[in-house]
Amino acid sequence: MTLAITGRFEESAMERKYKKLNILEEDRKMAGERSQESSELQMKWPKHHKRPRSPQTFRGGSKRRKRCRAQARRPAPLKISSYEVHKVLGRGSFGKVMLATLTSRKQLVALKVLEKRPEIMKEHRALKIAGGSPFLCHAYAAFQSKLQAFFVLEYASGGSLSTVMENGPFPTSTVMFYAAEMVCGLQFLHSRGIVHRDIKLENILLDQNGHIKICDFGLVAHNIFGNRTTRGRIGTYGYMAPEVMLMKEYNAAADWWSLGVVIYRMAIGRSPFYNGRVRTMVQESTVSDEPQYPEWISPELQDLLEKLLKKNPQHRLGTNGNIREHPFFASINWVELESLKVKPPLQPRMPSTDSSGSSLEIEKDNIGCNDINILSGFSFINPNWQE
Ligand code: ADE
């Protein structure tokens, strides 16, 4: 709820400044980041938004005054009450992603709500890096309440490839376009030492113009440079590389395998391996079976899939050889593609904000001035977020 600033002290020049910056009474009361986080946030705050000083007239002791001053600086997009939530876009073990409007800017965003756990800092770090590629989902901001953490993400209104594919497999030219944009997004991540570890149709979104946006960096591994590897059976069965399933050490080649599964499914309309409910059978099939290729797919596409779905990661295209030079991509102009000049094959419909009717409750837990459960360095606003 928005409360006007009234009566408690005479309106001063400072107060007028507060009002202008849309800093509300509610913010002053709200529990929040300690001054440490607040100052970090301010460092990233665009220059033209000068840091307001707090009025001197708060009641209470000096400690409380300091804390509340820090909270008062929290800009409007960094609190849940600034958003109107419309519907759930997706759920997972992590929490959920909601379609929401930042009311002050009437802008649709995807609001990812997570339990506060130290591991979410990996996603936080990946999201900041992702801002450098047009083929990765960008974050506008991050903030936290007492129990929850929030990422404010760009809304990819075209839906995921899994929903777009409901009408059946794609023509080869469409497969080529999406695969090529995914190659750009993956190569960007890998060049920054990030392995995504959950590449699947559901995590490949389309933006409003039909370009690819790889999303969900919740399972990433960082610092995988050179010969470095990581461990852990992490990802989604059916897309997971054999070395990941077998709990071996692995690197970015695991993402190239998953891309192979995505391309196979886009082109052929089914999974390359057994993909039922029995996990041991999915593993058995992934590790031992060779995929079947219908005769109607092009030899170039079959060759690409065979090279991406190599059981041995050291022989797998992506980390072994230059995938951009593969004959399947012969007609791609990579420079034009990377500058978003190639017209996407599908134009998504206009987004709808119709509420799904499911529970859209977000815990109203952000009141109270004594929060000890703070994720330090979490909150930020992307200075490029358009006003
Ligand atoms: N589902 C998960 N993340 C999303 C996003 N950024 N846009 C649209 N749908 C999503």
Answer whether residue 62 is part of any domain.
Answer: no
Residues 228 and 373 in one domain: no
Residues 216 and 329 in one domain: yes
Residue 26 sits in which domain range? 1-39
Residues 181 and 304 in one domain: yes
**Of all atoms in ligand 1, which is nearest to the CA of residue 97?**
2
CATH number at residue 107: 3.30.200.20
Answer whether residue 250 is part of any domain.
Answer: yes
Please give the Cα distance from 255 to 331 (Å, whole number).
Answer: 24
Predicted local distance difference test score (pLDDT) of residue 130: 98
Residues 240 and 264 in one domain: yes
From 112, 138, 209, the mutation candidate for ligand 1 (largest count of ligand atoms within 8 A of CB) is 112
Q: Does the beta carbon of 156 sit less than 6 angstroms from any atom of ligand 1? A: yes
Here the tokens at position 340 are: 């978003």
Query: Alpha-carbon dihedral of residues 128, 215, 154, 151, nearest 10 degrees?
Result: -60
Q: Tokens 């802008």 appear where? A: 107
Predicted local distance difference test score (pLDDT) of residue 385: 87
Please count the CA atoms within 13 angstroms of the CA of 59 that sit on its side-chain side: 3
Please give the Cα distance from 127 to 115 (Å, whole number).
Answer: 17
* Number of Cβ atoms within 10 Å of the Cβ of 127: 23
Q: Does the beta carbon of 110 sit less than 6 angstroms from any atom of ligand 1? A: yes
**Of all atoms in ligand 1, which is nearest to the CA of residue 155?**
7
Answer whether residue 226 is part of any domain.
Answer: yes
- Where the chain has pLDDT below 70, the residues are 1-75, 93, 355-372, 386-387
Q: Does the beta carbon of 215 sit less than 6 angstroms from any atom of ligand 1? A: yes
Please measure the distance between the N-terminal and C-terminal CA atoms of the chain and give it in whole angstroms. 22
CATH number at residue 273: 1.10.510.10
Distance 42 CA to ligand 1 centre (A): 27
Answer whether residue 359 is part of any domain.
Answer: yes
- Ramachandran sector of residue 159 (left: φ over 0; alpha: ψ -120 to 50; beta: rest): left
Calculate Rg over the CA atoms of the chain. 24
| pTM attached to this predicted model | 0.81
**Of all atoms in ligand 1, which is nearest to the CA of residue 215?**
3
Domain count, the chain: 3
Answer whether residue 140 is part of any domain.
Answer: yes
CB 73 within 8 A of CB 51: yes
| SS3 track for 2-38 | CCCCCCCCCCCHHHHHHHHCCCCHHHHHECCCCHHHH
Distance 325 CA to ligand 1 centre (A): 31
SS3 call for 89: strand
* Binding-site entries: 112
Find, among 270, 260, 298, 295, the residue nearest to 169 by Cα: 270
Task: Count the helix, strand and coil residues of the chain and give each as a percent rounded to the nearest 5.
Answer: 35, 15, 50
Phi and psi torsions of 163, nearest 5°: -80, -40
Predicted local distance difference test score (pLDDT) of residue 20: 34
Residues 169 and 137 in one domain: no
- Ramachandran sector of residue 194 (left: φ over 0; alpha: ψ -120 to 50; beta: rest): beta
Distance 128 CA to ligand 1 centre (A): 16
Phi and psi torsions of 205, nearest 5°: -105, 165
Q: Tokens 């699947």 appear where? A: 200
Residues 123 and 8 in one domain: no
Residues 321 and 370 in one domain: no
DSSP annotation of 321: S
Here the tokens at position 52 are: 């307001």
**Which listed residue (27, 198, 207, 255) is catalytic?**
198
Answer whether residue 268 is part of any domain.
Answer: yes
Distance 223 CA to ligand 1 centre (A): 26
Answer whether residue 70 is part of any domain.
Answer: no
Predicted local distance difference test score (pLDDT) of residue 371: 53
Answer whether residue 71 is part of any domain.
Answer: no
The answer for residues whose C-beta is within 8 angstroms of residue 91's C-beta and 6 or more apart is 97
The answer for residues whose C-beta is within 8 angstroms of residue 292's C-beta and 6 or more apart is 272
Question: Is 198 annotated in the active site?
Answer: yes
* Binding-site entries for ATP: 112
Distance 45 CA to ligand 1 centre (A): 25
From 91, 94, 205, the mutation candidate for ligand 1 (largest count of ligand atoms within 8 A of CB) is 205
Residues 170 and 316 in one domain: yes
Q: How far is CA 181 from CA 336, 343, 349, in A?
A: 11, 12, 20
Residues 307 and 371 in one domain: no
- DSSP string spanning 197-210? ---SGGGEEE-TTS
Residues 207 and 294 in one domain: yes
Phi and psi torsions of 185, nearest 5°: -65, -45
From 101, 215, 353, the mutation candidate for ligand 1 (largest count of ligand atoms within 8 A of CB) is 215
Residues 125 and 171 in one domain: no
Predicted local distance difference test score (pLDDT) of residue 386: 66
Residues 302 and 176 in one domain: yes
Please give the Cα distance from 381 to 46 (Å, whole number).
Answer: 9
Here the tokens at position 85 are: 């939530």
